[in-house]
Amino acid sequence: MLIGELSRRTGVSARLLRYYEEQELLVPQRDSNGYRTYAEDAPAVVEQIRGFLDSGLTTRAIRELMPCLCEQGLRHCDHSRAVLDDGLDRLERRIAELTEQRDLLAERVDGVARQPLRPGPG
């Protein structure tokens, strides 16, 4: 199928499909005229990519998982488990950083709220 058909079938823009190709997440063939052609399983692959992105994985991590994809989804193996664990650890660190930032900002809000209200700039 051509990129336009893949885009229609998945709801993903052609531009984003080309980005997936640049990131080596989606590998089309090229016709003699240079057009990209995608295998029949490409919509399922795009769906997997979107799911991984939605769950917070980076394109680098998804690229590492691509060899572990099978018809049933993601094959459970040492490699896929390690990549997923790394992704989860990265998200846990991000959540901790955001929580710390939120707490610091809340302290500032409380400090300002204790002061008498004065006209602001402008």
For the chain, the domain total comes to 1
Q: Residue 91 sits in a domain of what CATH number?
A: 1.10.1660.10
Q: Is residue 119 part of a domain?
A: no
- Quick: pLDDT tens for 26-60: 999 998 898 899 999 999 999 999 999 999 999 99
To the nearest 10°, the Cα dihedral for 46, 31, 60, 13? Answer: -40
pLDDT-based confidence at 119, cuts 50/70/90? Answer: confident
Q: What is the mean pLDDT of the chain?
A: 94
Tell me how far apart the alpha carbons of residues 101 and 107 are, in angstroms, rounded to a whole number: 10
Single pTM value for the model: 0.81
Residue 73's SS3 state is: strand
Q: Is residue 23 part of a domain?
A: yes
Domain range for residue 81?
3-113
Q: Is residue 121 part of a domain?
A: no
Q: Is residue 118 part of a domain?
A: no
pLDDT at 70: 84
Q: Is residue 120 part of a domain?
A: no
- Quick: pLDDT tens for 65-80: 999 988 788 999 999 9
pLDDT at 122: 67
Residue 28's SS3 state is: coil
